[in-house]
Every structure is written in structure tokens, then in C-alpha cells.
Amino acid sequence: MPLDPFVHDTLGQRVILEAGGAAKHLAAEVSRLGADRVMLIAAEAESHLADRVTAGLPVALRWTEVAQHVPVELAERAREAAASAAVDLLVAVGGGSTVGLAKAIALTARVPIVAVPTTYAGSEATAVWGLTEGREKTTGTHPSVLPVTVVYDATLTVSLPVGLSVASGFNALAHCVDSMWAPGSDPINRALAVEGIRVFASGLPKVVADPAGLEGRDECLYGAYLSAVSFASAGSGLHHKICHVLGGAYRLPHAETHAIVLPHVLALNAPAVPDRGRRIAEAFGGGEPLAALERLRAAVAAPRALKDVGFDEAAVGEAAARILPGVPPSNPAPVDRRVLETLLRAAWAGDTPGGAA
């Protein structure tokens, strides 16, 4: 059977992966880019990691205020500071919130970014930016926010607690699964997504079993890149539309929310596209798609309930109404407000969708 026609855009970016090599590679990139006034963005919790990899760099401004979902007020303060310091390169050492703030600055300042991830969020490999004002999260894409270089170093993720590692990994898995049927899904990003699922299914149990080991951490960083590249071209599907509302309107923690919502969207969509569901299941190790995901969720004790991360069941109706306008028309399964309310209520309670074991 011939392939359906598609157009696929590949983002240009340098990607470096070497355990223990971040300081060396970061210094080389700063030199290659000709930067002499670096803005270092790293939250206080990552300050020790930032110190390790930026010693000797021409840091003109160090910024430590970082928040999830990048509030507009924070972005404006950071932009003003960057302009006052006349920085010519942004170096972001941290997770998705840190990289997200760098993107918010680059969006207006047109200053390049070098990202040094310490989680598996994947923001470093996309041209997607997000800002939250009040209870509304706005996202968009622009080439100026895509980091020019990503430096992956598994030793920088060893201090990430196991629980956060799992949640972050499931956030990346959600990028992969959503890419299987997002509006821009095509054979290329689906291939990347399937490989990302396979890598996380292998790597996350290793991280849980040996948190200080580098094999699982290396795999998860590789998986994070695959997940982000697939998502970057496939775009936001139903899963991400749901999580953007939950994060922006209700200030729920980003990674945990993605981890909790993932199986519920998979249960809804996979039966409508059985060939893609089969590929997802095979990447997880075989069986039915949801059961395969559930095996991994149980093995690594992934987050299960929105009630555990601060979501109020009384807000289910309001949340569904907020989500509905953003549901992609191309979503494989029909979605209306009732479907969304059922999904959100099950995710709030931590129910296993469809009774999968």
C-alpha cells in the first residue's frame, strides 16, 4: 500500500551526547559561536550542576528565578535583565522550565540558546515556546527559540530523584505517543516516536533499579531527544491540549500531569487507529497498547492520579470546557465535552482506563 502524501520539516540543530563531557563541549560551543557575554539560566536547585559545567565561561549575567509554565511577568523581568546586560548567548542548565524561560527571552531578543538538560523534558529539541498569563497558557512555534546546540550529559541527571526521573520520562513518552496521531503526524516522526517509546521502556526501569548508573540515564536522554524531535514536527495532539490547560489554568506540575493523563488518551485513541496502537504496544514490549503501558507504569511506580497533584474534582467540568475548543479535528477518536469529563474524572481518581492490568 502506498504511503499517504506528507510534508516533513526537519529542524537544524547540533546534538552532543557524552557522559561527563558537558563542560568540555559547552566551552567548545561558546567558543564556536563567538559569544563573550553569556546569560546563564539555572534554578537554585541546579546551581551546583551549572557551576560544574560553566567554570571559565564568560558569564555576564546569572539568572536563578525559574518557574513552571513560564509566567509572563517572569519572562518580562528576564528579558529586561538580558537586554541590560547585552548578552549574546543564553546557556540554560536545567529542565523544561529553565529551557522554557530561555526560549521566552530568545523569542524577543533573538539571542541563541545552548541547552544543557538535566531532565527528560525534551523542550531543548523543539521550536515550541509557552507562556502563562493568569490562567491561560499560550504556546507557539518560532525558529528563534530552537536551541542551536543541545549538550546531553548523563552525569548531570544522576541527582534527579527517581520519582522525578520517572515523571519526566513519562512526560517524554507522552510526546512520543501523542506524535502517533497529532495533526502533523507522518511516517518519519512516527518512526522516531516508536524508537523513543522503545528506549524509555528499556531505560526507565534501569534508572529505577540503579539511580546512580549511567546506562539507563544515557538511554533516557537519547529517548528525550527522540521524543522531542517527533513532537516538534507532529505538533500538539489531544494529550498536549489537555495538559496545557491543566498546567496553565490549575498550575499542576508539568511532568506528573503528563504522566497521569497519558494512559487515558492512549485508551481513547489507540482503538481508533489499531495499526499505530500495535506499533506502540510492540515498542513497549508487546501485548495490547494500554496493557503494555500499564506494565511499565507499575514497574516504575509512575504517578497515577490528578487528585495527588492538586487537581480538584469539582473543576472537571470547567476544565473540559476549556480543553474542548483546542481538540484537534483530526483526533482519531470523537471527542466532546462528555468524553473529556469522563477522561478527566478517571485521571483525577487514578482509575486504570478500561480495566487494563
Residue ranges of domains in the chain: 14-156, 162-355
Q: pLDDT in tens for each of the 357 residues of the chain?
A: 677 788 888 888 999 999 999 999 999 999 999 999 999 999 999 999 999 999 999 999 999 999 988 999 999 999 999 999 999 999 999 999 999 999 999 999 999 999 999 999 899 999 999 999 988 888 899 999 999 999 999 999 999 999 999 999 999 999 999 999 999 999 999 999 999 999 999 999 999 999 999 999 999 999 999 999 999 999 999 999 999 999 989 999 999 999 999 999 999 999 999 999 999 999 999 999 999 999 999 999 999 999 999 999 999 999 999 999 999 999 999 999 999 999 999 999 999 886 444
- Phi, psi (deg, nearest 5) at residue 136: -115, 125
- Phi, psi (deg, nearest 5) at residue 11: -80, 140
Task: State residue 319's pLDDT score.
Answer: 98
Task: State residue 1's pLDDT score.
Answer: 60
In the chain the first and final C-alpha atoms are separated, in Å, by: 35
Among 152, 124, 136, 327, which residue's Cα sits nearest to residue 227? Answer: 124
pTM over 0.85: yes
Helix, strand, coil tally for the chain in percent (to 5):
60, 10, 30
DSSP one-letter string for 204-217: HHHHHH-TT-HHHH
Strand partners, 89: 38
Cα distances (angstroms) measured from residue 226 to each of 15, 63, 229, 319: 11, 29, 5, 30
Cα separation, 34 vs 238, in Å, equals 41
Task: State residue 354's pLDDT score.
Answer: 65
Fold classified for 162-355: Dehydroquinate synthase-like, alpha domain (1.20.1090)
Task: State residue 301's pLDDT score.
Answer: 96
Cα separation, 303 vs 113, in Å, equals 32
Task: State residue 8's pLDDT score.
Answer: 83
DSSP state, residue 99: H
Task: State residue 356's pLDDT score.
Answer: 46
| Grid cell of 246 as nine digits | 491543566
Domain 14-156 = CATH 1.10.150.20: no
**Residues 98, 104, 109, 113, Cα dihedral to 10°:** 40
Write out 214-254 in H/E/C secondary structure.
HHHHHHHHHHHHHHHHHHHHHCCCHHHHHHHHHHHHHCCCH
